[in-house]
Amino acid sequence: MRVLIVDDHALMALSTEQEVLRVRPYADVRSARSIEEAEARLTDWGEPAVILLDLLLEDAEGLSGLIRLRTIAPSASIAIVSGETSPSVIRDAFRQGARAYLTKTMNIDQSRRALREFLDSGSYVPPDLVSQLVELDKTPRLSPRELDVLRALDSGKLVKQLADEKGISENTFKTYYKSAYRKLGVKTRTQALNRAKQLGLIDPRRRG
């Protein structure tokens, strides 16, 4: 089995390699410190069976590294290895082609079990997040304009002022946010914003 580890922290990459070799003693394990280096290694080495990918790399933002590697190694099973535990991020990683998500917050025994399951089956979802991921898949689908208007409401400004800033009429602005309210199953601005933040549609730290 060929395994590529993409992590810019040398000690973490080495630790991951050691754990892989505990489970697969004869695996051919190689590492890269960036997506660019991973792409070069894949060109020289060929497509591995497994890629273990850290999300926080200098030349990748969000899930862009995952998307790039899925393009050049479409047959590889990619596991995200990250300290990010947001259910919405994990859900989006799976939607973009990840086959597993291994959180760095797991203790050593949990990490080893998760890695073994992934290498054995080609997939792994953290058990404590399964129900949350199911709920996230039920998230209402807001149009880009509905979402934009909903985020604008989070500023606390008056509807007329927001409509003017968007360059649309007040009635049009109201049409968008009322449609968003219906999809979210709420009736007021406060309920809508709270629900949107719970669902990860609006960053709860964001304001204005």
8-state DSSP, 102: E
174 and 167 Cβ atoms separated by less than 8 Å: no
The verdict on domain 144-198 having CATH code 3.90.25.10 is no
- Is the pLDDT assigned to residue 139 strictly greater than 70? no
Q: In this predicted model, what pLDDT tens digit does every residue of 164-205 receive, in sequence order? A: 999 999 999 999 999 989 888 888 999 888 888 877 677 665
The CATH 3.40.50.2300 portion of the chain extends over 2-136
Q: Measure the CA angle with vertex 87, ends 86 and 89; round to 5°.
A: 65
- Is the pLDDT assigned to residue 77 strictly greater than 80? yes
End-to-end Cα spacing for the chain: 50
The pLDDT-based confidence of 49 (bands split at 50, 70, 90) is very high
- Is the pLDDT assigned to residue 20 strictly greater than 90? yes
CA atoms of 114 and 57, how far apart (whole Å) = 23
The pLDDT-based confidence of 37 (bands split at 50, 70, 90) is very high
Check: pTM over 0.85? Answer yes or no: no
The CATH 1.10.10.10 portion of the chain extends over 144-198
Q: Which amino acid is at 32?
A: A
Out of 3.40.50.2300, 3.30.465.10, 1.10.10.10, 3.40.50.1360, which CATH number does the structure's domain 2-136 have? 3.40.50.2300
- Is the pLDDT assigned to residue 154 strictly greater than 80? yes
